[in-house]
Amino acid sequence: MPVNQTSPPASALIRIAQLHKSYRLVDANGKTIENPVLQNINLNIAQGEFVAIMGHSGSGKSTLMNILGCLDTPTNGGYWLEDQNVAMLSNDALAKLRNRYIGFVFQGFNLLKRMTALDNVAAPLLYAGENRANSRKKALEQLRRTGLEKFAMHHPNQLSGGQQQRVAISRALINQPPLILADEPTGNLDSQTSKEIMTLFEQLNRERSITIVLVTHENDIAAYARRLIQIKDGSIVYDGGHALESTHNPVV
């Protein structure tokens, strides 16, 4: 597959065209300088794909993930999610877009410590305006699907790392988003638990056609995806199958 395709598939969920991202820094002399992080990114991701993004620390992969999640904006270029031009949306509209279309899973789980697993999962529904009773009912059903129904009233500090990540995945799924963004989702887990979490992602992608984009530095985790994107110095240097040729060894 050629790098930087510019013709989006008809079913593209994500379209990025000529995207640049830079940050303005002030040096020791007080002079403002531009620090480029992403350069000329062209990327299309179809509904139902399972994509891994890899790259060295500082390569720009986390910045790209933040832009995909509507948590940051490009300096130049365009980003369309479900054919909506993200750059044209107000802050309120962006918040609604994130809540409706994107589920987030983080390395550190990001669960609210004072809330039970049930209420952590129900939180996005409450933010969307659904009443507490219906939110908790749907959250309990979501926990059942991920095998955690009996832990619904446990707090995060009463759960293992793998259980906490399953709660986080349940929370990401509660609004039935078409897209899950996972940032190093197995980074705090042991090998066996990592396999279980990735098997769950694989199942969600296969059975429910949920688009999954994950950032990882681990080759064995990236291998669960059907497509691998490598970023180096802010540019895409590889975009293709995860079974790479020797000339395209994964960047870790």
Q: What is the mean pLDDT of the chain?
A: 88
Q: Give the residue-averaged pLDDT of 142-154.
A: 94
Strand partners, 102: 179
Tell me the whole-structure pTM to 2 decimals: 0.85
CA-based nearest residue to 86, from 76, 75, 97? 97
Ordered by start, the domain boundaries in the chain are 49-78+90-242
Which of the residue ranges 44-53, 75-84, 173-182, 235-244 would you say has the lowest mean pLDDT?
235-244
- Amino acid letter, residue 114: R
What is the architecture, at CATH level 2, of domain 49-78+90-242? Answer: 3-Layer(aba) Sandwich (3.40)
pLDDT at 227 > cutoff 90: yes
Distance set, CA 60 to CA 72, 75, 110 (Å): 13, 14, 22
Confidence of residue 249 (pLDDT cuts 50, 70, 90): very low
- Of the chain, the percentage scoring pLDDT greater than 90 comes to 68
More confident residue, 52 or 30: 52
pLDDT at 252 > cutoff 80: no
pLDDT in tens, 163-219: 999 999 999 999 999 999 999 999 889 999 999 999 999 999 999 999 999 999 889
- Of the chain, the percentage scoring pLDDT greater than 70 comes to 91
pLDDT at 8 > cutoff 60: no
Confidence of residue 11 (pLDDT cuts 50, 70, 90): low
Confidence of residue 38 (pLDDT cuts 50, 70, 90): very high
pLDDT of the residue at 129: 87
pLDDT of the residue at 158: 96
State the Cα–Cα distance between residues 119 and 148, nearest whole angstrom: 13
pLDDT of the residue at 12: 87
DSSP string, 109-140: ----TTS-HHHHHHHHHHHTT--HHHHHHHHH
